[in-house]
Structure 1
């Protein structure tokens, strides 16, 4: 079984929960041997570090990779690398990747509602 959840890109708040959901690339290489991709969370106005999930939104280049935290995680930003496998080479450089993220006020409960598509 595979579970998934889909979001539209947006930043805002509902009652006491702030959120930032988006995708972006920065035009620079994002591997562990390169500079990290910076996800700007300032527009969500988080009071504390949010809970955040980051993924790569597609695959670029010939080497596989996955999103990995890069040290900085605060209420205003998250740094992420495209951590590359080392199957074909030992270097850790990786091309510019498109990152996707969903950040919510810490300890937010996402409550599902019944869909009109359920039958």
Structure 2
């Protein structure tokens, strides 16, 4: 396999892990199983760190364009929103309805935007 295929497979695997564990956690009910909950959060954080690292590496090679910065920034905002709504959903108190609905939708937006950001950075070549 080429490095490109490995990168795409690794990124897809991480996103798949986040989504599969998220579905499982939503069905499991509170309190969430600690191992699955921890892996779910760390995998999402790992993708965000990978994106930021890729932006830094790309910036060192050549200055990023405004579109690339916008893509990375929007993806980072989506990750932060997903994590914030996830925190509200996972708290001991009942989550507000808007937070639960937002956390059901924002991960898909995050997947799309961050995939675009990785592509703009040329990270999947």
TM class by smaller structure: under 0.3
More strand by share: 1
Ranked by relative contact order (alpha carbons within 8 Å, sequence separation 6 or more), the top structure is 1
TM-score under structure 1 length normalisation: 0.26
